[in-house]
Structure 1
Amino acid sequence: MWPRSLRSRKCGGHVKKVKLPWRHRQKIYDIAEGLLGDSEKGTKGEKKLVDILTDYRKSLLQRDASSRLRRILRVNSKAATAVGQVEKAVRGGRSFTVAMGTSLSPMERTIIGSGERSSMLPSAMRMVLELQQMLGDIRWQFVSSMSQPVVYVLAIYGFLLVLGGFVVPQYEMFYPAEKWTGWAAVMLGLSKVATGWAPLAALVVFVVALVTIVWALPRWTGRGRVFADKYVFPFNSYRYVSETAWLLTFAVLLKSGVIDKSALSEQMQFGSPWLASRLKPIRDGIVGGKSLANAMQGAKTGFPAFDLIEAIRSREDSDEFAERIEAVARKEMVRMRRRFIATSVMWGAVLFVVLIGVVFVLQLGVNDLTTDSATAVGSF
C-alpha cells in the first residue's frame, strides 16, 4: 500500500519528486549491497532491488506507527514517499540512477550509474559507502584539529573578561586605577581591552575575514591563488584536503569503470570552480596525449602536490592502477591526520603559554597592587 502523501499527490495528476536524504540513501545502500547479486538478484535471500525498496518503505511507515508521538509527527513520512516514488520508477523499468533523480549527489550519480551500466550495482553502492566514510573522516580530521586552539582562545578571552568585569572593579573600590603602576597597570590595560570595544571590533573583523575566506576557498581562481595554495593558511590546508579527497574520488570512479578523461570531466562539472580550474589543464593534457602524471606536472598549478604526482607516475603502468592510487590516498589520509594533530598541538601549546602568561600577569598585578596600596596607606 502506498503512503497517504504519495496517494494524495498522485490524485492531482502530477507527482512532485521528493528528495531522499543521505541517511536513508545510506541505509538503502547498506541493505542492498549485501543482498543484491551482480545481476541484481539475491544471493543471500533472493532479493531484487524493487523488493528491497518495498521492504524499506514499509519499515519507515511501521516506525511512524510504532508510537502516538511518531504517528502525530510522521517523522519518516517524506522519506517513505520518496522511497515509494523510486520503487514505482524501478518497477516501471527505470534504472536506479534515473529513479533516484536529484536525490543523488554528483559523485553518487557517477558511481551508481557506472555500476548499473556494468551490472555491478552492489559494488558501486559499496564504493559510495566507503568513499563517503573516507571523505567524512577527512572533514572530521580538519574540524577536530581546530577544536583545541579554539577552546584555548575562548578560555583566554573568558579569563580576561572575568579580570575586567570582576577582579579589577573590586580593587578599584579601595585604590584608584589612575595610581596603578607596573604589572598592576598591565592588568588594568588588559581588563580595559577585554571589556571595551576592541573584542567587538576584532569579532567583526574576524567574521568578515572568515566569510571572505570561506567564499574564496572554493571560488577564487585568479592570480595569486597558486602562491596562496602553497604558502598561505588556510588555502594551503584547503588544497591539501581537497587533493586527497579528489584522489579518493578519482580512484573510486576508475574502479567503477569510468575512464580517466570522463572521470575528470565529471569532477570538473560537479566540483567547485577552484577544483575545475585545477582539473581542466590535467584533462586537456590527457586529451592531448600526455600521461596522467605528465599532464599534472605540465599544468603548473601545484595540484596535486609533487609527491602525489610522483606516486601516481610510479603506478601508472599497473593493471591495478585504481586500487594502487586508492591505497596512496588512504596513506595520505593517515599523514593528514598526523599533520593536523601536530598543527593542533602546536597552536594549542602557543595559546596555552599565552593563557599561562595572562594568569601570571594577574598574579604579578595583584602583588604590585597590594604593595602600592599598602605603601599609600602607610604614607598617611
Structure 2
Amino acid sequence: MKTGKVLFLTDKYLPFPSSNGTCVSKIVGSYPQKENVYVLAFSSSDAEIPGTNIHYCRYKRNPSSAFNRIFGHCQDDGAVTALFMEACQMIEDQKIDTVVCLYRPVECLLAGLKLKSKYKHLCVIGYFLDNIHEWSTSSRVKDQIFFFNQKRLLHQLYRSFDSILSLKYYQPTFEEMLRKTEKLCYVGLPSLREYSGDAQNMFSSNHINIVYAGSFYANCRRPDQILAFLAEVCAQVPEIRIHLYSWGCQELVDTAKEKMGENLVLCGRVSAEEAERAIHSADILLNVGNDMPYAVPGKLIEYFSTGKPIINFCYRPSDGAAKDCEKYENVFNVYANGDNSVDDCVKFVLNRQSLSWDTLKEKFYDSLPGYTADRILETRLKSKHV
C-alpha cells in the first residue's frame, strides 16, 4: 500500500547538522505535507523541531572503525545495526513506504541494503551527497583495496536499490564504476533558496563590502594567493573592505592583514545566523574553491541564492564549479596558476550588478530542494515494489 511516507537516513541533523544534514533539512522543508516525512539521524541531541518527525539513533562507536574504512565497507558495524533496528520500528509503526539513504555516512547505505532485504515492498533510494571515491591514504595499496571495495559496494547498491540519486558533480565517478546507468539520476546541490531581503545591513554604505564566509585549509583551500591579488585591487579601490568570517590558516591571514591594513577586516568564526546576515549585507561575495578534481561548490550555490556578484578563486580551471560559474555569469574568476588582470577585477567591482530570483530559478532549477524531492517522488511512483 502506498502511504506516501518518506524516511531519510542521515548523520547529524538539526539543530546542529552536518553539511549533509543541512541539505536534508532543506529537502524536508520543501515537502508540502511535512507530516509524511521522517528523519532518522545519528545525533546526541534531543531537540524537537516543530513540524518535523525526527528520531535519533543511539549507538556505541566501534574502535576498529579506521580499519573498516579501508579494508571493508563499514565504518562502524554497531551503527549499522542500531540504525537498521530503529528504522524497522519506524517503518512498521508509521507505515513508511520509501527510505532515502544518504552517503555519507556509509552506514546509512548498508542499513538500506538490510532494509531492502527485509521489506520487499519498500522503495529504497541511495542519495550520494559525497563522492564514493574520495578516500585517500598514504598507501597506494590501501587506496586500491578501498577503491575495489567501494566499486563492489556500488554495484551491490545498484542491483538492490530502486534508484540512486547523485550530485551531478560525481557523474564521472559513477560512469567509471558502473556499466549500467538506468537507475541513476543526477541532481544539483539542494541549497538554492529565496531570501526575504529584510535583513538589516551590517556594513557602512561608504565602503564596497566583500564578504567571505567559510573555512581555510592549508592543503586544499589557502587564502594567501587570493588575498595577495585582492591587495592589488584594493590599491586601486581603497574604499574596499574585505570581511573574513573564517577560521583556519591564521598565520597566512595575519600576514595578509599586516599588508592590507584596514582593507581586510578579520571577523573570525561566527554563528551561521551572523554569517548569513553578512552574506546578504555584502556588495560582493568571495569564494575560495578546493584544490581537488570533483569538489562540490556548496558555498557557491549558497552565494548564488543572493544574486550578488562573486569573485571566485579556483585552483583548477575545469573544477566542479566551472560550469556553474559559467551559467551564473556574474562571476569574476581568479586562477591560482594564471595571469589574472587586476584592472579587469577593478572594473568588475565598480560595475557590479545583481541577478533576480526568477533568473536564478531558471538557471539553477536542479539546485532547488523541491527538485530533489520531486525526483524521490518519481522513483516511489515508478517502483513496482510499493
TM-score over 0.5 for the alignment? Answer: no
Greater fraction of residues in strand: 2
The normalised TM-score by structure 1 is 0.25
The normalised TM-score by structure 2 is 0.25
